[in-house]
């Protein structure tokens, strides 16, 4: 599963050939969450509150890039790295 960004100890990853709705995987330590790209909401899993706020803000900022990566993943193309939060 390619890592598409890393910031503040959080790893954002996206699998190839995934199920709808469009989403990415966010990991922080042992905690994991699936985040819906279009709604910037957690589908399953959990993250600590501070990290969750960062992930959802990053999702909103980079929604278009995340959707482009989603389309690339569906076609088994190389995913683009997305700028981290600073």
**pLDDT (tens place) for every residue of the chain, 86 residues total:** 799 999 999 999 999 988 999 999 999 999 999 999 999 999 999 999 999 999 999 999 999 999 999 999 999 999 999 999 98
Q: How many CB atoms lie within 10 A of CB 57?
A: 12
- Pairwise CA distance, residues 51 & 56, whole Å: 9
Tell me the Ramachandran region of residue 83: left when phi exceeds 0, alpha when psi lies from -120 to 50, beta otherwise.
beta
Report pLDDT for 17. Answer: 82
Which parts of 1-86 are beta strand (E)? Answer: 3-7, 10-13, 23-28, 31-36, 41-45
Q: How many CB atoms lie within 10 A of CB 69?
A: 25
Q: What is the pTM of this model?
A: 0.95
Report pLDDT for 52. Answer: 98
């Amino acid at each position: 599963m390619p890592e598409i960004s890393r910031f503040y100890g959080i790893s954002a990853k996206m699998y190839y050939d995934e199920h709808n709705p469009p989403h990415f995987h966010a990991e922080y330590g042992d905690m994991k969450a699936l985040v819906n790209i279009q709604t910037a909401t957690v589908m399953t899993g959990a993250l600590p509150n501070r990290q969750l706020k960062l992930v959802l803000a990053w999702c909103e900022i980079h929604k278009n890039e995340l959707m482009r990566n989603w389309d690339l993943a569906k076609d088994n193309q190389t995913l683009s790295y997305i700028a981290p939060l600073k």
